[in-house]
A = this chain, B = another copy of it.
Amino acid sequence: MRRWNGWGDDSINFAINDDALAFLQQRIGQGQAVSDASLAQACSAVPASRLPPHPLVETGAEVRMRNSLGQSLPDWLKLRYGRIDSFPDGVAFPESGEQVRSLLNYAQACGATVIPYGGGTSVVGHLSVPHGQVPVLSMNMSRLSGLINLDKTAQLARFGAGVFGPDLEAQLRAQGYTLGHFPQSFEYSSLGGWIVTRSSGQQSLRYGRIEQLFAGGRLEAPSGRLDIPTFPASAAGSDLREMVLGSEGRIGILTEAVVRVTPLPEREVFHAVFFPDWDAAQEAIRMIAQAKLPLSMLRLSNATETLTTLTLAGHKKLIGALETYLGWRGCKDQKCLLMLGASGHKATVAHAIKMALQIARQQQGVPVGQAMGQKWKQNRFRSVYLRNSLWQQGYAIDTVETACDWPKVKGMMLTVEQAATEALAECGERVHTYTHLSHVYAQGASVYTTFAYRLSGNYEQDLARWQNLKTAVCEAIVSGGGTISHQHGVGTDHAPYLSAEKGEFGIAAMRHLYTHFDPDGMMNPGKLLPPELAEFK
């Protein structure tokens, strides 16, 4: 059963080994377990619904509580401390586009706000329920999840947009195809969610970001229906898909999506390469990206992330032997781990890996084969469960990510890590912070930083710690010339920083566009766009 106050299925635990725990304690001090609120306590806070009855709208306390938040750190704080302070007044589970339409009409008629809810995996507050007098309907899309059509000649699949990652892949795999979109939230995130938040999967180098995979579909907006036909490419004016991408629930509900699929790869490999230090590693990964080889993944961990990964892996003896070998080859304390993958036709995979390793070796890279890569692949959706185990040990873990052009990448990594460290130094806490580049482009890379720090046991204090940290890193990103998000989206948490990259004029253009679809502002208000007075009716 899915955890109501943490990540994933409650039968899965990713226990942290003793050495890793000791490592963390040494870095940031002993954690102090926090006592969690119970499910019953959380549900008892749910007030009476303000929505009139509707056959498709459920108003029970538990379903409303379970649809009230996502997976951001402040969401977790609310869940764990029993401090959820706003709930949708009802949750609908539409099973067809017609039901979505009728629910939108119903919401319009009773003046309700609508929050589209995919898998509830947002880490930036997309799902927060606004306070105020207006009733709120959560539109849970999880039952709109079927494969409607698979065109093998055009390699296009049409799905109900609420389909979750594993279900989508299972339906495709049964016919020999894959979408190849694997964000870390894969287990619970939905196709529609990926599209409206511009998601990026771990193998985007081969399959593309969701922007490249999204070929067409149907959106039900308060003011009408948008049907987007599929074309391989078009020069006919504005691309309507781009009005949907990144719209974060502000313009309507995506009910169907057509995506570009690929036959299952004949071969899929992941190789690990170590570098003596960051500079050599970054130079190598940039050169490999700019060589435009048919790879599927390039992921580079900095020295602290490399150390953390090796410590978390357990297998002390094996890792010890590896480190001795790497030491002989010049990869010591500052060593950085590059994971590279390729998928597809056997010969093309072999060519891509050969060329990439060749470049890596020229930059002092030491290839260590496929074992670590296979391990990474096995655990790719399990590592996110670590958040649960760490919480139980009294540690919070959060991440932030951006993307910037190559000349800014290293500075961005250093500045973000430093900003986080300094932000908590003010309250006497240390931060264990580490970074990787998980998506690389000829132009630059995403910069993804993780923070582990201690919980205080007090809600207000932990929220304040998070706010200090979040503000510091977001300001660092903006001042370093990065986008406020490469793959998580904007939601509420990043909205204050959006003007830095869009400009006031660009923000106004977005706002103006959205009013075409949602003239009364009923769709997910307060998300994505920086707040303006008119939004708070």
Q: A residues within 8 Å of B by Cβ?
A: 151, 153-156, 197-200, 206, 209, 215, 221, 223-240, 242-243, 245-248, 260, 262-263, 286, 290-294, 344-345, 347-348, 351, 355, 403-407, 439-446, 481-490, 494, 498, 501-503, 505-506, 508-510, 512-513, 515-517, 528-529
By the criterion CB–CB under 8 Å, are B236 and A490 in contact? Answer: yes
By the criterion CB–CB under 8 Å, are B517 and A509 in contact? Answer: yes
Which of B403, B445, B502 contacts A237, CB < 8 Å? B502
By the criterion CB–CB under 8 Å, are B209 and A233 in contact? Answer: yes
By the criterion CB–CB under 8 Å, are B441 and A232 in contact? Answer: yes
Give, as a whole number of angstroms, the nearest-CB distance from A266 to chain B.
Answer: 11
By the criterion CB–CB under 8 Å, are B443 and A155 in contact? Answer: yes
CA A512 to CA B516, docked complex, whole Å: 7
CA A341 to CA B209, docked complex, whole Å: 26
A206 surroundings in chain B (CB, below 8 A): 292
A488 surroundings in chain B (CB, below 8 A): 235
Which of B197, B235, B347 contacts A355, CB < 8 Å? B347
Closest 10 CB pairs of A and B: A232-B444, A198-B235, A232-B441, A242-B242, A234-B483, A154-B405, A512-B516, A232-B443, A224-B505, A231-B483
With A236-B489, A242-B239, A407-B153 already in contact, the answer to whether A230 and B443 are too (CB < 8 A) is yes
Give, as a whole number of angstroms, the nearest-CB distance from A246 to chain B.
Answer: 5
Give, as a whole number of angstroms, the nearest-CB distance from A535 to chain B.
Answer: 15
By the criterion CB–CB under 8 Å, are B506 and A240 in contact? Answer: yes
A199 surroundings in chain B (CB, below 8 A): 235
Q: Which residue of B lies closest to A504 (CB)?
A: B224
CA A376 to CA B237, docked complex, whole Å: 31
Given A154-B405, A224-B505, 11 new contacts (CB under 8 A): A153-B407, A155-B443, A226-B506, A227-B503, A231-B482, A231-B501, A232-B442, A237-B528, A292-B294, A509-B516, A513-B516
Q: Which residue of B lies closest to A238 (CB)?
A: B510
By the criterion CB–CB under 8 Å, are B242 and A481 in contact? Answer: no
With A231-B482, A240-B502, A498-B237 already in contact, the answer to whether A405 and B509 are too (CB < 8 A) is no
A512 surroundings in chain B (CB, below 8 A): 512-513, 515-516
CA A200 to CA B234, docked complex, whole Å: 10
By the criterion CB–CB under 8 Å, are B490 and A405 in contact? Answer: no
With A226-B505, A512-B516, A513-B516 already in contact, the answer to whether A154 and B443 are too (CB < 8 A) is yes
CA A231 to CA B445, docked complex, whole Å: 9
CA A440 to CA B243, docked complex, whole Å: 25
Q: Which residue of B lies closest to A529 (CB)?
A: B237
A490 surroundings in chain B (CB, below 8 A): 235-237
Give, as a whole number of angstroms, the nearest-CB distance from A159 to chain B.
Answer: 16
By the criterion CB–CB under 8 Å, are B151 and A509 in contact? Answer: no
A407 surroundings in chain B (CB, below 8 A): 151, 153-154
Which one of A154, A155, A286, A344 has the highest number of Cβ atoms from chain B below 10 Å of its Cβ?
Answer: A154
CA A223 to CA B292, docked complex, whole Å: 40
- The 28 listed contacts between A and B (C-beta, < 8 Å) are A153-B406, A155-B290, A206-B292, A215-B443, A224-B505, A231-B443, A231-B501, A232-B444, A232-B445, A232-B446, A233-B439, A233-B486, A234-B486, A235-B487, A236-B483, A237-B248, A238-B243, A238-B509, A238-B510, A239-B246, A240-B502, A242-B242, A260-B442, A291-B345, A291-B348, A294-B294, A347-B355, A509-B513
